[in-house]
Chains A and B, each alone.
Chain A
Amino acid sequence: MAPAVVQMRTPAETALIERFEAEKAGLPGAAAERAAAFERFKAKGLPSKRVEAYHYTDLRALMRQAPEAGSQSLPAPKAPAGVTIQSLAEALAGGFRPGLAMGKAEDVVVDLNTAFMREGLVIRVAAGTAVAEPLVLDVAHASRHGRVIVEIGAAASVTLVETHSGADGVAYSSNHVVELILGEGAKVEHIRVNAAGNEALVLSTLAASLAAEAELMSLNFSLGGAVSRHQSFITYAGENAKLDLRGVTMIRGRQHCDNTLVVDHAVPHGTSRELFRTVADDEAHGVFQGKIIVRPHAQKTDGQMASNALLLGDEAAMSNKPELEIFADDVVCAHGATCGALEESQLFYLMARGLPRAEAEALLVEAFLGEVLEAVSDEALRDSLSARITEWLAARQAA
């Protein structure tokens, strides 16, 4: 018998274990879920690059410091008509079950969040409610294990914005989870802005389940953090649901940003579109791992996945890993991944019209990323994201 491989606990793992033992009695509700999730973490430890899903983002090596439990509350936006907002602690203490949007997916980062979650919100949008103004969640870096669960009733529609920000020069880590449970015919736009501090380790997860005819557009707009990983786990629970998953990543210096997604077509007639664009300057490293699963009965699934990267820096890199796992025979699925520098011939054309090189590059980069923003319907919101792109490029020109 081969000897069992015993990995030494890392300091972060040890800290997490000690912290859980010390804090669990004070954590609100969901005791059984917390304990089970924590046991899974204890058995597996932090995932190293030998774990396929974490191959490009070796959390075991990267997590030097365990996220703290965090503050008690996440500031709640004002609830418009037809929307109720409850604190997570209150909901969990009242027996609310977290994790329903995860479907069959299992993940250590989500397990850690489940074990430690304390601050957060449970938001319910009543059936048929069309929320006009975006609901905006400002997540400051004091929030470490946040969870926001949003139940969107049948035929309701809402735009949800999470903005994660934090101070530069502070090596903090955070682990946030958003669960979206879309009822029949519900329509949701979800925009996550990662403007975390430049030394942060930013872990975040979107878990969503889509009932019949539901439509979800989710955009991860990421420019902050030293190391960021955003994962999306999407499950189709009813037929004819539509998913539009998008990503804008702008990284420079030695930033690392990972977008990992698993789209699980468990029922027939689902449509999914994934469009991720990365711009990496200097020595930055972008990662895209996208897996589309089509279960045996999920006929007529239509999935199209694309990841395109522009490498501005000579030392910048992109790891693209699109995967299709198809077990049904009547489906249309495709993926494409591209990675390259700006087109010299296009740059020359623009320069020949008088644009200095940096300006020509900025115009092409804005065009490249701008296409991804087209799915954001709220004009003010789209403009604010465009402005962040322009700002990022201006800082590049100034450097």
Chain B
Amino acid sequence: MLEIKNLHVEIDGKKILNGLTLTIHPGEVAAIMGPNGSGKSTLSYVIAGKEDYTVTEGDILLNGNSILEMEANERAAAGLFLAFQYPLEIPGVATMTFLKAAMNAQAKARGETELSPGDFMRKVRGAAEKLGINPDMLKRPLNVGFSGGEKKRMEILQMTLLDPAYCILDETDSGLDIDALRIVAEGVNALRGAGRGMLVITHYQRLLDHIVPDKVHVMAKGRIVKSGGPELAHELEKDGYANYVEAA
């Protein structure tokens, strides 16, 4: 279970999250929708362990244990994965080299044995093919010069390979064409179930047509202001956020 309890977060003295409470149960897919600037990416960064933020109140618990004191890499090894809204370009580091380093680091942190080079290659190639990623891209420096859609697919490839317990997808649909959206959604759906929790941040109903959430939460001004089922997303698509922003 991933629990966010009464979370208050500041950056450079500016308050961004304002008593946010949210629980994601094992196997559950929750969607967060909310206006620009409401703090969705901030929430995802704070969960993943970015250091720029100050948590002034509240807690984040993964399976009952607070993760606030853990480094980002420790959280990753504990099973958290953030698919970035803006994946970073890493010049000079071949994608394959990076994937191997990440998988080995997590295996090591969990006391598991590393994959053999052959198994590693097979696993990466197989997962890449399902996501329509050209094997040549894996030789290029990570995300450097990749199109917006290619970067998003690369995030899902990493998510597939790292096999996390809880995934946060921050606007993974932005920048995807219609076919890519379907491929990426299939990739995400393939990871559903088996106790894996997901938090899907999006602005658009069309992603939720492919990845049908169990719950939909509306976020405004740094807190969850309304929760409901998938029908809530349709309502928002029709009426916008005006009611909720005023209420917040």
Residue A96 CB within 8 A of the other chain: no
Which among B7-15, B101-109, B183-191 touches the partner chain? B101-109
Per-position binary interface string of chain A over residues 335-358, scored 1 when its CB falls under 8 Å from any chain B CB and 0 otherwise: 000000000111011111111110
In the complex, which residues of chain B have a beta carbon less than 8 angstroms from the beta carbon of A353? 73, 76, 98, 102, 105, 158, 162
- Provided the pairs A359-B101, A359-B105, A363-B98 are in contact, do residues A352 and B72 lie with their beta carbons within 8 angstroms? yes
Chain B's closest residue to A345 (CB) is: B88
Contact check, B88 vs A349: say whether CB atoms are below 8 A apart.
yes
Per-position binary interface string of chain A over residues 16-60, scored 1 when its CB falls under 8 Å from any chain B CB and 0 otherwise: 000000000000000000000000000000000000000000000
Per-position binary interface string of chain A over residues 355-380, scored 1 when its CB falls under 8 Å from any chain B CB and 0 otherwise: 11101100110111011000000000
Interface of A is mostly: helix
Per-position binary interface string of chain B over residues 70-88, scored 1 when its CB falls under 8 Å from any chain A CB and 0 otherwise: 0111011100011010011
Chain A's closest residue to B82 (CB) is: A352
Chain B's closest residue to A347 (CB) is: B72
- Provided the pairs A357-B73, A367-B92 are in contact, do residues A352 and B105 lie with their beta carbons within 8 angstroms? no
Query: What's the minimum C-beta distance from A172 to chain B, rounded to whole angstroms?
Result: 36
CA of A349 to CA of B90, assembled, Å: 9
CA of A84 to CA of B74, assembled, Å: 60
CA of A150 to CA of B84, assembled, Å: 54
CA of A352 to CA of B81, assembled, Å: 7
Chain A's closest residue to B52 (CB) is: A344
CA of A380 to CA of B96, assembled, Å: 22
User: Considering the complex, which residues of chain A in the window 281-327 have a beta carbon less than 8 Å from any beta carbon of chain B?
Assistant: none
In the complex, which residues of chain A have a beta carbon less than 8 angstroms from the beta carbon of B103? 354
In the complex, which residues of chain B have a beta carbon less than 8 angstroms from the beta carbon of A360? 73
CA of A354 to CA of B97, assembled, Å: 14
* 17 A-B contact pairs sorted by A residue (CB < 8 Å): A344-B52, A345-B88, A348-B49, A348-B72, A351-B49, A351-B72, A352-B72, A352-B81, A353-B162, A354-B77, A354-B106, A354-B109, A354-B162, A355-B105, A366-B92, A367-B92, A371-B91
CA of A271 to CA of B105, assembled, Å: 44
In the complex, which residues of chain B have a beta carbon less than 8 angstroms from the beta carbon of A370? 92
Which B residues contact A (CB, under 8 angstroms)?
48-52, 71-73, 75-77, 81-82, 84, 87-88, 90-93, 97-98, 101-103, 105-106, 109, 141, 158, 162
In the complex, which residues of chain A have a beta carbon less than 8 angstroms from the beta carbon of B75? 352
Contact check, B90 vs A354: say whether CB atoms are below 8 A apart.
no
In the complex, which residues of chain A have a beta carbon less than 8 angstroms from the beta carbon of B90? 346, 349-350, 363-364, 367
CA of A287 to CA of B93, assembled, Å: 27
Partner of A356, one of B51, B52, B97, B105: B105
Contact check, B49 vs A352: say whether CB atoms are below 8 A apart.
yes
Query: What's the minimum C-beta distance from B69 to chain A, rounded to whole angstroms?
Result: 15
Contact check, B87 vs A351: say whether CB atoms are below 8 A apart.
no
- Provided the pairs A356-B105, A359-B101 are in contact, do residues A351 and B73 lie with their beta carbons within 8 angstroms? yes
Contact check, B93 vs A364: say whether CB atoms are below 8 A apart.
yes
Task: Tell which of A355, A360, A364, A368 has the most Cβ of chain B within 10 Å.
Answer: A355
Per-position binary interface string of chain A over residues 251-287, scored 1 when its CB falls under 8 Å from any chain B CB and 0 otherwise: 0000000000000000000000000000000000000
CA of A352 to CA of B167, assembled, Å: 12
CA of A348 to CA of B45, assembled, Å: 10
Query: What's the minimum C-beta distance from B89 to chain A, rounded to whole angstroms?
Result: 8
Q: Give the contact-size bracket for chain A.
A: 20 to 34
Task: Tell which of A352, A364, A366 has the most Cβ of chain B within 10 Å.
Answer: A352
Chain B's closest residue to A370 (CB) is: B92
Nearest 6 CB-CB pairs, A to B? A367-B92, A351-B72, A354-B106, A354-B76, A353-B102, A349-B88
Partner of A349, one of B71, B87, B97: B87
CA of A356 to CA of B75, assembled, Å: 11
Partner of B73, one of A345, A354, A371: A354
In the complex, which residues of chain B have a beta carbon less than 8 angstroms from the beta carbon of A344? 51-52
Chain A's closest residue to B88 (CB) is: A349
In the complex, which residues of chain B have a beta carbon less than 8 angstroms from the beta carbon of A349? 84, 87-88, 90
Contact check, B102 vs A354: say whether CB atoms are below 8 A apart.
yes
In the complex, which residues of chain A have a beta carbon less than 8 angstroms from the beta carbon of B73? 351-357, 360
CA of A356 to CA of B88, assembled, Å: 17
Q: A349-B88, A353-B102, A364-B90 are in contact. List 10 more A-B contacts (CB 8 A).
A: A344-B51, A345-B88, A352-B49, A352-B72, A352-B73, A352-B82, A353-B158, A359-B101, A360-B73, A371-B92
CA of A348 to CA of B51, assembled, Å: 8
Chain B's closest residue to A367 (CB) is: B92
CA of A349 to CA of B97, assembled, Å: 15
Contact check, A357 vs B71: say whether CB atoms are below 8 A apart.
yes
In the complex, which residues of chain A have a beta carbon less than 8 angstroms from the beta carbon of B48? 348, 352
CA of A370 to CA of B76, assembled, Å: 27
In the complex, which residues of chain B have a beta carbon less than 8 angstroms from the beta carbon of A352? 48-50, 72-73, 75-76, 81-82, 84
Query: What's the minimum C-beta distance from A341 to chain B, rounded to whole angstroms?
Result: 14
Query: What's the minimum C-beta distance from B45 to chain A, rounded to whole angstroms?
Result: 8
Query: What's the minimum C-beta distance from A370 to chain B, rounded to whole angstroms?
Result: 6
In the complex, which residues of chain A have a beta carbon less than 8 angstroms from the beta carbon of B162? 353-354
In the complex, which residues of chain B have a beta carbon less than 8 angstroms from the beta carbon of A366? 92-93
In the complex, which residues of chain A have a beta carbon less than 8 angstroms from the beta carbon of B102? 350, 353-355
Task: Tell which of B73, B84, B105, B106 has the most Cβ of chain A within 10 Å.
Answer: B73
Query: What's the minimum C-beta distance from A387 to chain B, rounded to whole angstroms?
Result: 15
In the complex, which residues of chain A have a beta carbon less than 8 angstroms from the beta carbon of B52? 344
Per-position binary interface string of chain A over residues 179-210, scored 1 when its CB falls under 8 Å from any chain B CB and 0 otherwise: 00000000000000000000000000000000
Chain B's closest residue to A362 (CB) is: B101
Chain A's closest residue to B76 (CB) is: A354
Query: What's the minimum C-beta distance from A353 to chain B, rounded to whole angstroms?
Result: 4
